[in-house]
Amino acid sequence: MAPGLGGRNVSIRSFSEQFHLSNPARDALIGASRANLIDERFRFDVQEYEAQLPYRSVELDNGAVLSAQLTGFDDVFEHELVDEARKEYRYSTTGRIVDEKLKRTQ
C-alpha cells in the first residue's frame, strides 16, 4: 500500500492514519521519530522505504506471525475479512518448507 504514496507529500502522523496502523505500530513509528518531525511533511520515496523496511510482518491474536517481503506480502498471503465487528481476518498461503527454527523468544 505504501508504495502508492510514491512522490506524494506526507507526514509521519498522516502516514500512520492513512494506513490505519494498529496502536502498537503507530506508537512504535511515532516513538522512533523526533517529536518535532511527526507533522513535518516530506516527499515519500518508495525506493528508500523499501530499502529501510524490506519485510512486512503481521502478528495475529492466536500467536501466528506472518512475514514476507514487503513488496510481495499480499501475493504470498491471501486474506479475507471473516468478522468485521471483531476485525478478524483469515490468512492462507501455499509453499514448500525450506527451513524451520525453534526460538526461545520472538
- 58 falls within a domain: yes
- 21 falls within a domain: yes
pLDDT (mean) for 40-63: 86
Structural domain total, the chain: 2
pLDDT tens digits, 61-78: 999 999 998 888 889 999
**32 and 68 in a common domain:** no
CA angle 66, 23, 8 (to 5 degrees): 85
**60 and 46 in a common domain:** no
The whole-angstrom separation of Cα 65 and Cα 86 is 19
- 66 falls within a domain: yes
pLDDT tens digits, 24-48: 888 888 888 888 889 999 888 888 8
Residue type, 24: P
Q: Return the closest-CA partner of residue 14 out of 49, 32, 38.
A: 38
| pLDDT band at residue 51 under the 50/70/90 scheme | confident
State the residue range of the domain holding 86: 54-95
H/E element, 9: strand 9-10
The structure's pTM equals 0.57
